[in-house]
A and B are shown apart, each in its own frame.
Chain A
Amino acid sequence: MDVNLIFKIAAIGIIVAVLNRVLTQSGRDEIAMMTTLAGTVVVLLMVVGLIAKLFDTVKTMFQL
């Protein structure tokens, strides 16, 4: 029950959102876009690991 993964992802999301707002205010829109992409990629890497774990569990459980 690794609940902290949810909080990690939410924290990253909030940080990226705030960073995005700060960067757009200070006029650097392209860097803001980059941070958004970076945040999404980091979160995606975490999620892909857990999805792989889900599929393995189902495969072993149901002898698929």
Chain B
Amino acid sequence: MDIMKIVGIGLIATILAVILREQKPEIALQVSIVTGLIIFVFVITKLNSVIEVLKYFASKTNIDLLYFTTILKVIAIAYITEFGAQVCKDAGESSIASKIEFGGKVLIMIMAIPILAALMDIITKLIV
């Protein structure tokens, strides 16, 4: 089962990171970064089919594709931001982590502008 592989790798890497943390904290941090990367790359390949199915449903119910791609982009930005912020928190740099999160929020807001505009159009149509 894949989940056992993921948990196994996570545990082994945690033990190695703890061994290294006392003498070489910088290399211990990199062990945790690499573990996160490996687990993500392993899982992302499975996500592909889910996205294809969602795209199929979106096209079937003739929702405008712009909204769906925007949602995907927002998810991608959110994930990368969370990944970076978490690594910085592990290293103890919580101020850098909060800056990364702030940047991510701003970028997501920029992504969401078209959808907000469309929403306002619909609302004004309803009222008028």
Residue B116 is within 8 A (CB to CB) of chain A in the complex = no
> CB-CB < 8 A to A43: which residues of B?
27, 30
Question: What is the total number of residues of chain B having a CB less than 8 Å from a CB of chain A?
Answer: 36
Interface residues of A in 31-46 (CB under 8 A from B): 36, 39-40, 43-44, 46
Q: Is the CB of A9 within 8 A of B30?
A: yes
Which A residues fall within an 8 A CB radius of B? Answer: 1-3, 5-7, 9-10, 12-14, 16-17, 20-21, 36, 39-40, 43-44, 46-47, 50-51, 53-55, 57-59, 61-64
Residues of B within 8 A of A (CB): 5, 9, 12-13, 16-17, 19-20, 23-24, 26-28, 30-31, 33-35, 37-38, 40-42, 44, 47-48, 51, 69, 72-73, 75-77, 79-80, 83
